[in-house]
Amino acid sequence: MKVIFEEYSGIIIIGVVIVALIALVGLLLVDGGPVHNAFVNMVNSLFAKAGTV
Can you tell me the distance from the alpha carbon of 36 to that of 28, in angstroms, rounded to the nearest whole number? 7
Let me know: does 39 contact 31? Beta carbons within 8 Å.
no
Can you tell me the distance from the alpha carbon of 9 to that of 21, in angstroms, rounded to the nearest whole number? 18
Let me know: does 25 contact 31? Beta carbons within 8 Å.
no
| 13, HSE (Cβ side, Cα atoms, 13 Å) | 6
Chain segment 15-51, per-residue pLDDT in tens: 999 999 999 888 888 888 888 889 899 999 999 998 8
A 10 A CB-CB count for 32 gives 7
Give me the pLDDT at residue 53, please.
55
